[in-house]
Chain A
Amino acid sequence: MKLFKSKLMRLTRPALPPEVKDDPIHVRIRDVHKSYGDHHVLKGVSLDIHRGKTNLVIGPSGSGKTVLMRQLIRLERPDSGQLLVNGIDFAKLEGLDLAAMRRTFGMVFQMSALFDSMTVFDNVAFPLREHTDLSRNEVHDRVMDRLAGLGVAGAARKLPAQLSGGMQKRVAVARAMILESEILIYDEPTTGLDPITTEMVDDLIVEAEEMFGVTSIVISHDMASVVRIADYLSFLHHGEIAASGTREELLNSEHPATREFVRASRISLD
């Protein structure tokens, strides 16, 4: 009997009170520390992620971007500090509460991380099959609708290895957004891609934001490629947020390391 009840016990995202939905700050990261042995990587990171906007976290290699991303999605637990998502401290959650809260996030990994043994269709259908009681037809319709929206419906029966890097990214976005997550995190989305695909991925981030109304967090060292789509930027340097603000504010920052990074990226407000 328990077997038949199992679907009713699937993880559901916590409901949000109206005042939280209207809060312009979606995630508040406060004084987050993370060390590996003697290596202190995150040294008290604090920053705000703005609701419904594209938030870019940039920094040179080794600055702690990926470590920050892993704390943010709770692939790892911070040593101390708060990750307030819709007012709930994500850093303190454990077990089933943590698993339920993860549904707030969708994640697009650097190498897309599509399940290589499944077709594109099955990859995108996976979260629906795991977390909803939708019928086979409903799953089919929703997956095909999402794939069509992102321009990869024709690849539904292909394996991820048969797709180009840009198409894999689109499928990864479709999978990350199929459960209508509130926050979409992109880890180094344009690293290793050619300029045309890079521009396509940038447009995809904007497209996903407009189409699904999500909050986007883009973690990248490739400032030149993603700065044009960012609403808010934070510069991570040696495990600390060195500068933070709108695109204009960050590009005009007086912080020496930020200025140097902007200069080296050869970008300007023009």
Chain B
Amino acid sequence: MKLLLAPFAELGALSRLFGETVFWGIRPPYRGRLLVEAMEFIGIGSIFIVSLTALFVGGVLALQLVDGFRDFGAENQTGAVIGLALAREVGPVFAALMVTSRAGSAMTTELGSMRVTNQIDALVTMAVSPVQYLVFPRVVAGFVMVPVLTMLFNVVGVFGAFFVAVTLLGLDPGVFMDRLKWLVDWDDVSQGLIKAMVFGVAVTLIACRHGFYAQGGAAGVGRATNRAVVQSAIAILMLDYLVTSIVLGEGLF
């Protein structure tokens, strides 16, 4: 019974932390420096890993699609389908997964270490809300920077696909870009950005929640980090379906 109720308890804990984050976030003092630091950590720090994965994801998509489309002479649509896939799905999901693996795990470990060494308690005793000081800047940074990284993923992904499809597999560059521009419009990109914002809040909140309530010394911090990464990955894929069904207006129930 306890096992069945565990996901709901987890959802409750996350909702409560989200409520506290909003409660404390709208109250002064406003710590701009902490927000900039968190944005730098999540955003700037993830540029390399996001670009690298985008390059290869774009490239492998081009390999598969050119190969598949050639069977029925539709390889000219490769740019269009890759653009659509990146903008709507692959960009936001991969960017969020990369942020989870790089920044989310580090956030859980940092907050977890602060918890087990009483540094979070010390903040409380100094009349500083740890949610306001530690969680709010990270969640806002996730909300802002995951969409930015998604755009980066889209651009680099298209570049990777273009390189493989045009340079290596001999597709016409004009046709590749023309079909991409023809099929992908702003609605597709914005759909991806909406998802990225939701993912950004979700992964930072999950990372902070597990670090914030970590217990049991170094081993406990390790377990918390492990749980945070697994839950974040699951949350990204579940939220992806949920947001897609809401945006498209079908398939929810």
Give me the interface of A with B, judged by CB distance under 8 Å. Answer: 2-3, 5-7, 9-11, 73, 75, 96, 99-100, 102-103, 105-107, 109-111, 113-116, 126-127, 130-131, 175, 179
Question: How far apart sit A6 and B124, CA to CA, in the bound complex (Å)?
Answer: 20
Contact A10-B129, Cβ < 8 Å, known A75-B124, A113-B117, A116-B117: no
Once the chains bind, are A109 and B126 in contact (CB under 8 Å)?
A: no
Quick check: is B30 within 8 A (CB to CB) of the other chain?
A: yes
13 contacts between A and B (CB under 8 A): A6-B30, A10-B29, A75-B121, A102-B125, A107-B125, A109-B118, A110-B118, A111-B117, A114-B119, A114-B122, A130-B29, A130-B126, A179-B126
In Å, the complex CA distance between A179 and B121 comes to 17
Q: Which of B24-63 contact A (CB under 8 A)?
A: 27-30
Measured CB to CB, the closest approach of chain A to B163, in angstroms, equals 41
**Which of A9, A73, A130 has the most chain B CB atoms inside 10 A of its CB?**
A130
| B119 in complex: contacting residue of A10, A102, A113, CB < 8 Å | A113
Task: Tell whether, in the assembled complex, residue B127 and residue A131 are in contact, meaning their CB atoms are under 8 Å apart.
Answer: yes
20 extra A-B contacts, CB within 8 A, seeds A5-B28, A107-B122: A6-B28, A6-B30, A9-B27, A11-B127, A73-B124, A73-B125, A75-B124, A102-B124, A102-B125, A105-B125, A107-B125, A109-B121, A110-B118, A113-B118, A113-B119, A113-B121, A115-B119, A115-B122, A130-B126, A179-B126
Nearest-neighbor residue (CB-CB) of B126 within chain A = A127
The answer on a CB contact under 8 Å between B117 and A126 is: no
Partner of B29, one of A7, A107, A126: A7
Could you tell me the dominant secondary structure of chain B's interface residues? loop
Residues of A within 8 A of B124 (CB): 73, 75, 102
Which residues of B, 93-117, contact A by the 8 Å Cβ criterion?
113-114, 117
Q: State whether the Cβ of B9 lies closer than 8 Å to any Cβ in chain A.
A: no
Are B118 and A111 neighbours in the complex by a CB distance under 8 Å?
yes
- Give the chain B neighbours of A131 by CB distance below 8 A: 127
Q: Which of A5, A9, A10, A99 has the most B CB atoms < 10 Å from its CB?
A: A99
**A-side contacts of B119, CB under 8 Å:** 113-116
B13 adjacent to chain A (CB < 8 Å): no
B28 A99 Cβ-Cβ under 8 A: no
Q: Determine whether the beta carbon of B122 is less than 8 Å from that of A2.
A: no
A24 to chain B, nearest CB (A): 25
B121 / chain A contacts, CB cutoff of 8 Å:
75, 107, 109, 113
A6 touches B122 (CB 8 A): no
Q: Is there a chain A Cβ closer than 8 Å to B234's Cβ?
A: no
User: Bound state CA distance, A79 and B118, in angstroms?
Assistant: 23
Contact present for A126 and B126 (CB under 8 Å): yes
List CB contacts (< 8 Å) of B58-109 with chain A: none
